[in-house]
Amino acid sequence: MKKFLIAGAMAGAVFASQAAAYEGVVTTRNQLMDAVSGNSHSANSRTVQYTFQPGLQRLRVVVQNFLSDEGPVGCPVTYTGSVEYPYGTRSQLLFNGVPSTTLPDISIQSSDYLTLPSPITPGSPIFIHFHLVSPCGIPFQNIHFSKGSGGDSFETCTCSNLPDNTMGGPGGGTVTNGFVPPIAVIGETSLPTYVVWGDSIEWGAGSQPMDSRGNIGPVSRSLGLNFAHLKFARSGETMAAITRGSNSLRRSLLPNVSASVNALGVNDFVTTSTGLMNQNSQTLASWSQTAFPGAQTFAIAFSMRDRSLTGMWTTLTEQIIAATPYQEQNRVTYNTGCRAGFPWLTACFDVASKVESSLNSGKWCVENCTPGVTTNPQRITADGIHPNAAGAALMGSAYNASSLHYP
């Protein structure tokens, strides 16, 4: 069994050895789409993504036509696309040998493999360009805020004939916030790769701005500096909904990731018993272990739900636990089990302890929360449920591992 040894936080990972190559996810910022621009019928999108696999030159891009819970967009969507690397050089994506594809509603499709003009330098940005045409509206990722020149861009048109700029040239549409991400970029890799299951915390609510590489959400902020990953996060998500709902499209990509992170829980504990939470956590882990034999599986001790009498979250006395005593006990019991080590997990990441005022207090930290920051009080939550940027960074620092392994 070959291993990766990691020193400290994932953001400062050090690789001790390499595993055998496999077909896996090779970029960051692969995300779901969660909204439809109903008045738009054509669009151009550019996303910046990063890869860390040395020598990567050949890849394929997986496009999507569904919303984040695998619900309908409402009609087919036609894609054309390109990959830009080196900067200024675009290579056309082909789908079964032709430069465009029309996806039925609730479906995904991979492009053919594309060989770039030169290997990508690890840590360098690549740009994914899409042109979309849809009779009922353009699906897109709504949490994103544009990074401006040199980063992401998204332009839409109420017309159906916005010029296709995937191979260069002006588009001429209305520039707006958002983007159309690939759901996956896949190639040959020998590095660890992840799928992140998340709710609105990982989706990014409250934790703007993004980091320097466009990552948002605690796990992505940590993984996105060194690891390729899929991000399956949406507002309101629960373990119960995923394990009982439609998930075949997302699960079809699990053979392409060597590890999973279950960053869910903050929505589960208010409606689900600890026993069912444990069962659902085990189910999510089993999906990765079945799809990728030897996959590592992680979960989190998750954070709190409380409210502030002043709306500031800068003292403990103003904070009131929003959950009922029964619900809060669910959280404490689940987190205690996770910290002790669920048998179906490789490890538990103790996110709660990074932002909770004290163990199981149910309140957000207000003093000496961030290492090196001596000014108190400190506010690390946007609304008592979601972290702000400082809180998201603290949560992200919980994602550590002593070793990553492959069969």
CATH number of the structural domain spanning residue 317: 3.40.50.1110
Kindly state whether residue 107 falls inside one of the protein's structural domains. Answer: yes
Shared domain for 128 and 236, answered yes or no, is: no
Shared domain for 129 and 199, answered yes or no, is: no
Kindly state whether residue 346 falls inside one of the protein's structural domains. Answer: yes
Shared domain for 105 and 224, answered yes or no, is: no
Kindly state whether residue 3 falls inside one of the protein's structural domains. Answer: no
Q: Read off the pLDDT of residues 202-253 as tens digits, 9 standing for 90 and up.
A: 998 987 678 888 888 898 888 888 899 999 999 999 999 999 987 999 999 9
SS3 content of the chain, % helix, strand, coil (to 5): 20, 30, 55
What is the domain range of residue 323?
190-405
First to last CA, the chain: 5
φ, ψ for residue 115, nearest 5 deg = -100, 120
Q: Which of 113, 144, 175 is the last residue of a domain?
A: 175
Shared domain for 112 and 234, answered yes or no, is: no
Cα angle 291, 107, 99 (rounded to 5 degrees) comes to 110
Shared domain for 203 and 130, answered yes or no, is: no
Kindly state whether residue 30 falls inside one of the protein's structural domains. Answer: no
- Three-state DSSP state, 363: coil
Instruction: Please list the ranges in the chain whose pLDDT falls under 50.
Output: 1-18, 146-149, 401-407
Shared domain for 263 and 329, answered yes or no, is: yes
Q: Which of 142, 175, 208 is the last residue of a domain?
A: 175
Kindly state whether residue 16 falls inside one of the protein's structural domains. Answer: no
Among 75, 131, 61, 143, which residue's Cα sits nearest to residue 107? Answer: 75
Shared domain for 76 and 195, answered yes or no, is: no
The tokens 């996060």 sit on which residue? 233
In whole angstroms, give the CA distance from residue 289 to residue 398. Answer: 23
Kindly state whether residue 132 falls inside one of the protein's structural domains. Answer: yes
What is the distance of C-alpha 224 from the center of its chain?
Answer: 9
In whole angstroms, give the CA distance from residue 1 to residue 5. Answer: 13
Shared domain for 247 and 394, answered yes or no, is: yes
pLDDT value at residue 151 = 80
Q: How many structural domains is the chain composed of?
A: 2
Shared domain for 166 and 120, answered yes or no, is: yes
Q: Which of 115, 150, 175 is the last residue of a domain?
A: 175
User: How many CA atoms, within 13 angstroms, populate the side-chain half-sphere of residue 86?
Assistant: 4
pLDDT value at residue 400 = 64
Shared domain for 202 and 298, answered yes or no, is: yes
Shared domain for 239 and 274, answered yes or no, is: yes
In whole angstroms, give the CA distance from residue 392 to residue 207. Answer: 6
pLDDT value at residue 15 = 35
What is the distance of C-alpha 386 from the center of its chain?
Answer: 16
Q: Report whether 37 contacts 157 (CB < 8 A).
A: no
Q: Report whether 338 contacts 299 (CB < 8 A).
A: yes
Q: What is the DSSP letter of 90?
A: E
Shared domain for 194 and 170, answered yes or no, is: no
pLDDT value at residue 144 = 57
Q: Report whether 223 contacts 194 (CB < 8 A).
A: yes
Among 239, 242, 215, which residue's Cα sits nearest to residue 229? Answer: 215
In whole angstroms, give the CA distance from residue 263 to residue 232. Answer: 10
State the pTM of this model: 0.92
- Three-state DSSP state, 127: strand
